[in-house]
Structure 1
């Protein structure tokens, strides 16, 4: 790829003393190719599913597409800024990577936790702490003084909350989709928790202490992103291929879409008229995962 474009570093020269080389750019192009192919594959896979059963596929498409753009930018030697470190001068710091994680990390957690019986408020709170972890990582990476380690601590504490949700609260909920989904979730949550423990270690050795070269940083983060991206997403969604989406109460929100759409007439789980898409009564059938005034069986609308 670099030869095709005449060399990314020739076209977009590095802006710091310590920067990636052509070998690092070649590695990033390889990761970009995997992400791009995975995105196209997930899009094609989603179209083999009926409407109303694409919730997890669509989240995976967003995650993979975002990662594809991020790695295209880094492979092109774009999306970085120099940050000064003691003794060694300036180092390339890739803010585009944190933009990627700001989008993908919460969506990954939402996708995983939606297979559990956690309430919507618990899921969104966990997603919020994913944003906290990413923002603290970015602020620390852009800080040239020792105060960066304060942001590092805040980020690790946010990750601790996330690990508690994944490994503590999640497995103890009721899995309406069955014991098979619960066992798959436990394996998936353990994998995600373990991989995300590697990120703060990588940060401490790269953006934090500048101990590892930018090429090594790209290899480390690239492997982790591939494990949490294509590998995990395809594994997790493949495990759900035979699960009845009706067990979660998912539906498309349109009268005519999918096997789990409304059948019209009276509201489901409430006493207001109209279907889910047109319902305006606060205590009708909108409630899900603890939202609403009356017990309901329908879940959030998905496509």
Structure 2
């Protein structure tokens, strides 16, 4: 077989999907498909690298490696799907343009991109907020707001009328809440843990929020306003995702190389590790603890007996 003659046939094999008897005439070309496959390769290699680096740490210290590798793994599958011209549907654009690259009756919308984001953006936030040592209730609530941000973006992309901008607004408000948590609340928590934690959090947090501010612009130019062609949309989102996932992951794991998870409140114990034994002993309410044990009231109990830990 002459490999030099092999071409990307994904558009012919999987394209021309019919929606109510019509096909998406504003869709990616072979160039867009090639780009999606290239980004898939970047995500896949990044997954292998992040997962491989986890073996340099004890199992109880791999939480950030596993989360980060999961982000790029899911993204690799999503980009393979988009490169194959699957996971999409045709939506009538609100704005009909005269530019031949974006003129037509149906624009191709990749809903698989939002399936990717609904999984990977909470994981990315989890990487950040665990680094900051935020309380679990704050983390869970922030992840919920993030899910609202992604789902409203998907609904807006699938709406043909001007009501899509209402969902866009809901998503932007949700994003502002996430941005506030990352740039203010979590930043203060990270600074309280130590300067090394604060440094890695600031680098990754500022990097993430800066990139995330560009996603609504990409949405407005593509799914929202039908301004740029689907191939250009692929490049815009692809560059953002590479910067927000593999590059982010490399920065985060590099920053975590000398940080013990226990400092962040992640007291994870493997099966072959001895449990941590606290040196602080408190007197039970009935006062019957071991001899010479200091109670919470500052007095020393004098009863004898076996000390409990």
Matched, 1:35 2:43: yes
Asked if structure 1 preserves the Cα contact closer than 8 Å seen for 2:60 and 2:270, the reply is no
Could you tell me which runs of 5 or more consecutive residues in structure 2 were left unpaired when the two chains were aligned: 18-23, 97-103, 285-309
Written as runs of structure 1 = structure 2, the 5 A alignment for 1:69-148 is 69-86=77-94, 87=96, 88-148=104-164
Q: What is the distance in 2 between the residues matched to 1:63 and 1:123? A: 18
Written as runs of structure 1 = structure 2, the 5 A alignment for 1:188-227 is 188-227=204-243
Map Cα deviations across residues 203-226 of structure 1 (whole Å, 9 max, x no partner): 011000101100000000000000
Matched, 1:66 2:79: no
Asked if structure 2 preserves the Cα contact closer than 8 Å seen for 1:177 and 1:244, the reply is no
Matched, 1:11 2:13: yes
CA positional deviation for 1:184: 1.8
Asked if structure 2 preserves the Cα contact closer than 8 Å seen for 1:117 and 1:175, the reply is no
* Corresponding residue number in structure 2 for 1:262: 275
Q: What is the distance in 1 between the residues matched to 2:263 and 2:125? A: 20
Distance 1:180 1:78, change over 3 A: same
Rg larger in 1 or in 2?
2
Distance 1:22 1:48, change over 3 A: same
CA positional deviation for 1:256: 1.6
Map Cα deviations across residues 211-249 of structure 1 (whole Å, 9 max, x no partner): 110000000000000001100111111111011223224
CA positional deviation for 1:116: 1.2
Asked if structure 2 preserves the Cα contact closer than 8 Å seen for 1:117 and 1:176, the reply is no
Matched, 1:187 2:203: yes
Distance 1:90 1:119, change over 3 A: same
Q: What is the distance in 2 between the residues matched to 1:209 and 1:67? A: 25
CA positional deviation for 1:2: 12
Distance 1:173 1:6, change over 3 A: closer
Map Cα deviations across residues 243-284 of structure 1 (whole Å, 9 max, x no partner): 122322424344424xxx6257x8999999xxxxxxxxxxxx
Q: What is the distance in 2 between the residues matched to 1:106 and 1:193? A: 14
Which segment is superposed worse, 167-176 or 103-112? 167-176
Distance 1:254 1:244, change over 3 A: closer
Could you tell me which runs of 5 or more consecutive residues in structure 1 were left unpaired when the two chains were aligned: 273-303
Q: What is the distance in 1 between the residues matched to 2:154 and 2:248? A: 24
Of 21, 32, 52, which residue of structure 2 is paired with 1:24? 32
Superposition misfits of 4+ residues, deviation over 6 angstroms: 266-272
* CA RMSD between the two structures: 2.4
* Corresponding residue number in structure 2 for 1:276: none
**By percentage of residues, which structure has more helix?**
2
Q: What is the distance in 1 between the residues matched to 2:243 and 2:59? A: 28
State the SS of the aligned residue for 1:73: helix
Which segment is superposed worse, 136-145 or 77-86? 77-86
* Corresponding residue number in structure 2 for 1:297: none
TM-score, normalised to structure 2, is 0.81
Asked if structure 1 preserves the Cα contact closer than 8 Å seen for 2:8 and 2:30, the reply is no
Matched, 1:229 2:236: no
TM-score, normalised to structure 1, is 0.83
Q: What is the distance in 2 between the residues matched to 1:126 and 1:90? A: 35
